[in-house]
Amino acid sequence: MSLVLDPAAQDLLFREARTANTFTDEPVTDEQVRAIHDLVKYGPTAMNQSPLRVMLVRSPEARERLVRHMAEGNRPKTATAPLVAILSADNEFHEELPQLFPHFPQARDAVFGERPVRESAAALNAALQAAYFIIGVRAAGLAAGPMTGVDFEGVRKEFLDDDHTPLMVVNIGRPGPDAWYPRSPRLEFEQVVTTV
């Protein structure tokens, strides 16, 4: 066997994990979300930037405000998921670099002093962290429904500020009835991997 991860864990995180479209009404607790964060915070980012920010949408009023910005097909599942998270990139992540990258605290200004450089770095590294977040949700035994069918500018104005760029909305919970669409095909090894 080429992988050291237990086959059941491989299934939980990858093979059997699916994007959920319906959820039960079992709540997702703050303790579960904290456990997810405490696991996925160790995922890699360049220079330990850690630009991902997570906004949990729990109140009915906030949920209603968010649903208005979802694509039509995403509205029902966002309205009924036990928990919804807005994942965004903090374009001012560099302010934390003296703490997060202490062996080169000058990186804050020397590398990331220009806003366009920060925005590019934040988008890439927060997207990487968002992928780890989804895997963390799966590791908690929950299903994630990540979506980009969103009016991002509307979400930014409604929930964030000019220093945060929304990346995706993730519905979180236990899968409900008929939660899965049929599994779509994946590319084979030979279609993806080349050697030089």
Report pLDDT for 57.
98
The sheet carrying 143-147 orders its strands as: 52-57, 83-90, 164-173, 143-147
Q: 61-104: per-residue pLDDT in tens?
A: 999 999 999 999 999 999 999 999 999 999 999 999 999 999 99
Can you give the pTM of this predicted structure?
A: 0.95
Report pLDDT for 105.
84
Arithmetic mean of pLDDT, 165-180:
96
Report pLDDT for 16.
93
State how beta strands 143-147 and 83-90 pair.
Answer: unpaired
Q: 104-142: per-residue pLDDT in tens?
A: 989 999 999 999 999 999 999 999 999 999 999 999 999
CA 145 vs. chain centroid, Å, equals 10
Residue 28 CA to residue 40 CA, distance in Å, equals 17
- Cα Rg of the chain, angstroms: 18
Residue 173 CA to residue 66 CA, distance in Å, equals 17
Residue 107 CA to residue 171 CA, distance in Å, equals 35
CATH superfamily ID and name for 19-175? NADH Oxidase (3.40.109.10)
User: Considering the chain, what is the average pLDDT of its residues?
Assistant: 96
Residue 137 CA to residue 49 CA, distance in Å, equals 22
Q: pLDDT category, 1, cuts 50, 70, 90?
A: confident
Element (H, E) at 191: helix 189-192
Residue 28 CA to residue 32 CA, distance in Å, equals 7
